[in-house]
Homo-oligomer: A and B are copies of this chain.
Amino acid sequence: MAGREITLKNCRYVVRDHKVIEENIDILIEGRYIVDIGRGLGGGDEIDCREAIVLPGIVNAHTHAAMWIFRGLFDRGELHEWLKNVNKAEEKLTPRIVYLASKIAMLEMLSNGITAFVDMYYFPEETLKAVKETGIRAALGPVLTDEVVEEGESEKLVKSFIEKTKGFSRIKTVVNVRSLYSVSPETIREASKLTQKYDLDIHMHVSETRREIYLCKKRTGLFPVEYLNSLGVLNKRFILAHLGWVTSWELSLIKDKNASIVHCPASDMKLATAGFFPLRESLDFGINVGLGTDGAASNNSLDMFREMKVAVLLQRNNYWRTDIGERDVFRMAIENGYRILNIKGGVIEKNNVADLVLLDVKDLNLNPLSRRNVLSNIVYSANGNNVIATFVGGEIVYHREQKEAIYHSITDTLEEIQECINEIA
């Protein structure tokens, strides 16, 4: 069965990818997929898109959804100092709070045109439950620590998580390892072994601060990526988040092993990690670099439009040159995100998943508007509130007409969350 048909009629602009933009064109969706793009298409539910810009869904390739609860609570202190406060606060979190907070974070991400995210957090089954309910696409899974390795529990954890995602094509299991400095090499090796056995991704914070580089170098004699390579774990399923401090020869290793990087500029800047992530060099190497907001505890926004712009601003400021531009970051946030997820999407073309975002051409910040500047306006002036609707796998999972209803449906949840916050701060 092909599933429900939807036609997006007469879309004012369709940003098919970072280069190809079309005007006044239709998109035909059947079930979960885009089946045709052209003029004079029709069938199923027809949606008038004369006042819409259509782009592929955006991937928040590194976040901690449940940390939505900490938005605006910890705004000072460099990363390691900040982490101390956050870790203390995390002791107050219950599985139920993780479920509730991560669910609202997903609603917010969907309202911002984010169709998929890669997550790392405690109680991933709770976040998983929210993913199932909201209709968003996600890669998430157990966080492996030294404790579970010692007890030989990690495989059980991973298998059980895979079991729970069965039947959900939009959910992928990822094996999370917090960081080099928080686990033993055995845990990293074990995580990697499991990802190979079960064909999964592995997701880890790497080279976020100078301090981390210093500790790794002192302890192992190697830079973090060299060290990961020495453990034999670098491969195409490895997602390295941050990488603010990285050498050119580490980039070569990443390229050789086909691992992916996720750049999180706003969070890195806010936490004063002072990173000089060499984005131009990484892209020139042909490394797949995605973009992430990180959690609302550190960013504090979950708006990937803003993240795209900040990525450009940071590079231009750090390198005193303007060679990184709107095309690079648009591609990172969208096409490269789908590559990380290993899903045929991120470009509006036949047979790709129908993960789409509609923006409102009537918003003044998107004008003046023409084919010439539509991509620039999306990257440098758009924000999440320009979103009319978000589609995941052919389903409308957010429409701005629901805004009031969403808020009123979560008022009790917000109160429950606030009670938890009051215990923390």
Contact = CB atoms under 8 A, between A and B. Distances in A.
A376 B300 contact: yes
Given A383-B303, A383-B306, A384-B365, A370 B418 contact: yes
B385 A322 contact: no
Nearest to A407: B362
A398 to B, nearest CB: 11
Contact of A322 (B76, B108, B323): B76
B325 A75 contact: yes
A417 B368 CA distance: 8
Contact of A385 (B269, B309, B386): B386
A8 to B, nearest CB: 20
Interface residues of A, number: 71
A405 to B, nearest CB: 10
A139 to B, nearest CB: 22
Contacts of A417: 368
A272 interface: yes
Given A107-B364, A306-B306, A364-B111, A381 B301 contact: yes
Given A301-B365, A368-B417, A370-B418, A72 B383 contact: no
B407 A313 contact: no
A356 interface: no
Nearest to A300: B380
Given A316-B270, A362-B407, A71 B383 contact: no
A75 B383 CA distance: 18
A372 interface: yes
Contacts of A363: 385, 403
Contact of A425 (B372, B380, B418): B372
21 contacts: A71-B368, A75-B322, A75-B326, A76-B322, A76-B323, A78-B321, A108-B364, A270-B313, A270-B316, A271-B316, A274-B317, A296-B381, A299-B381, A300-B376, A301-B380, A301-B381, A363-B403, A364-B406, A365-B385, A368-B414, A383-B385
Given A303-B365, A313-B313, 13 more contacts: A71-B373, A72-B376, A72-B380, A73-B372, A75-B376, A77-B322, A104-B364, A104-B367, A112-B365, A272-B316, A296-B381, A310-B310, A367-B414
